[in-house]
Amino acid sequence: MSEVNKGVLVTGVIGSDTHIVGNRILSRALEQEGFRVVSLGALTPAAEFVEAAIETNADAILVSSLYGQGELDCDGFRDLCTEAGLSDILLYIGGYLVVGDQPWEEVRIRFRDMGFDRAFPPGTRPSDVTNVLEQDIAARRADAKQGA
Residues labelled catalytic: 17, 19
CB within 8 A of 146, min separation 6: which ones?
A: none
Helices 126-147 and 21-32 pack at an angle, to 10 degrees, of 60
**Alpha helix ranges (H) inside 33-125:** 46-56, 70-73, 77-83, 104-113
CB 111 within 8 A of CB 101: no
